[in-house]
Amino acid sequence: MEKRTFLKTGIFMGIAAATTSFLEACKTVDKNPPSTVAPTLPPPKLRRTTPFTLPPLGYDVAALEPHIDKMTMEIHHGKHHNAYVNNLNDAVKDTVYAEYELEDIIARISTSDTDKKIRNNGGGHWNHSFFWKTIVPDGGNAPSANLAAAINATFGSQDKFKEQFSNAAKSVFGSGWAWLCVGKDKKLFVSSTPNQDNPLMLNVSKQPGTPILGLDVWEHAYYLKYQNKRPDYITAFYNLINWKVVSERFEKAGG
Instruction: Give least dist CB 196 to Mn ion, A.
Output: 8
Instruction: Give least dist CB 55 to Mn ion, A.
Output: 14
Binding segment for Mn ion (CB under 5 A), chosen from 113-121, 144-152, 197-205, 210-218, is 210-218
Which lies closer to Mn ion via its Cβ, residue 108 or residue 125? 125
By the 10 Å C-beta count (0-12 exposed, 13-18 middle, 19+ buried), 223 is classed as middle
Among 107, 216, 225, 241, binds Mn ion (CB under 5 A): 216
- Whole-number Å distance between alpha carbons of 63 and 229: 22
Does 197 participate in binding Mn ion (rule CB under 5 A)? Answer: no
Instruction: Give least dist CB 69 to Mn ion, A.
Output: 14
Report whether the peptide linkage leading into residue 66 is cis, meaning its omega lies within 30 degrees of zero: yes
Instruction: Give least dist CB 212 to Mn ion, A.
Output: 19
Among 126, 161, 218, 226, binds Mn ion (CB under 5 A): 218
User: What does the per-residue mask of binding to Mn ion show for 219-248, with x meaning CB under 5 A?
Assistant: --x---------------------------
Scored b (16 or more CB within 10 A) or e, 45-81 reads eeebeeebebeebeeebebbeebbbeebbebbbeebb
The residue number with the shortest CB distance to Mn ion is 216
Residue type, position 69, single letter: D
Give the CA angle between residues 56, 62, 66 to the nearest 5°.
130
Which lies closer to Mn ion via its Cβ, residue 97 or residue 218? 218
- Answer yes or no: are the C-beta atoms of 137 and 70 closer than 8 Å: no
Binding segment for Mn ion (CB under 5 A), chosen from 85-93, 185-193, 215-223, 227-235, is 215-223
- Whole-number Å distance between alpha carbons of 36 and 8: 44
Residues that bind Mn ion (CB under 5 A): 216, 218, 221
